């Protein structure tokens, strides 16, 4: 696993956990203010048994293949969030799904945001079988994305993939440059 240096790296890792848990629907909210970052990820994947749930923050535990001896994604996320004064809350029910809530407080210990546009686009294009609902807000300005809007579109075509990356780049640029997008459905 690559080093988790940015919040976008953490986001990609935890969203990939939902994909690996066979989720068909993933709702992702990324709420940012001048003071903090809140991430909420809800999926309808397989969820976790009590035994797995009790060990999920242990860096020497993983449910991945036997050649991988460490499960560092969630322990690093928890450590990095708590270093800022934030938190990680995890709820999971076997056969139902998982809800993960994360808060980073923006201070000297907070990792940089990283490439959010690339992360959102990568999730959507690399896992087209998942129905993604993404809500991204900075202060009170937001934009939304739903993979429902891509029904019937071939996500293997390079021009389609580029268009999705361009969409997220445009929206992130707009939200950062102008302090946000007015309408949550502005595209």
pLDDT value for 154 = 87
What structural domains does the chain harbor? 7-177 (3.30.565)
If one counts every other C-beta atom within 10 angstroms of the C-beta of residue 36, the result is 16
Cα-Cα-Cα-Cα torsion 170, 12, 48, 69, nearest 10 degrees, comes to 170
Residue 46 pairs with which residues in a beta bridge? none
pLDDT value for 92 = 94
pLDDT value for 70 = 44
Model confidence pLDDT, tens digit, residues 79-113: 999 999 999 999 999 999 999 999 999 999 999 99
165, containing H or E segment: helix 158-177
pLDDT value for 187 = 37
Residue 172, classified by CB atoms within 10 Å of its CB into exposed (0-12), middle (13-18) or buried (19+), is buried
Q: What are phi and psi of 57, to 5 degrees?
A: -95, 5
Residue from 163, 159, 181 nearest 171 by CA:
181
In which residue ranges of the chain is pLDDT below 50? Answer: 1, 66-70, 180-187
Q: What is the pTM of this model?
A: 0.87
């Amino acid at each position: 696993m690559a080093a988790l240096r940015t919040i976008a790296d953490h986001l990609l890792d935890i969203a990939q956990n939902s994909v690996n848990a066979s989720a068909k629907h993933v709702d992702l909210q990324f709420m940012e203010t001048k003071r903090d970052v809140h991430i909420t990820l809800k999926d309808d994947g397989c969820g976790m048994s009590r035994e797995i749930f009790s060990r999920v923050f242990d860096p020497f535990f993983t449910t991945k293949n036997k050649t991988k001896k460490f499960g560092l994604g969630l322990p690093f996320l928890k450590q990095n969030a708590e270093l800022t004064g934030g938190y990680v809350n995890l709820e999971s029910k076997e056969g139902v799904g998982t809800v993960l809530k994360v808060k980073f407080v923006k201070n000297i210990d907070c990792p940089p945001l990283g490439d959010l546009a690339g992360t959102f686009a990568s999730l959507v294009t690399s896992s087209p079988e998942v129905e993604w609902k993404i809500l991204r807000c900075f202060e009170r300005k937001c934009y939304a994305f739903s993979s429902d809007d891509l029904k019937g579109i071939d996500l293997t075509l390079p021009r389609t993939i580029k268009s999705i990356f361009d969409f997220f780049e445009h929206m992130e640029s707009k939200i950062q440059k102008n302090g946000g997008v007015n309408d949550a459905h502005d595209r």
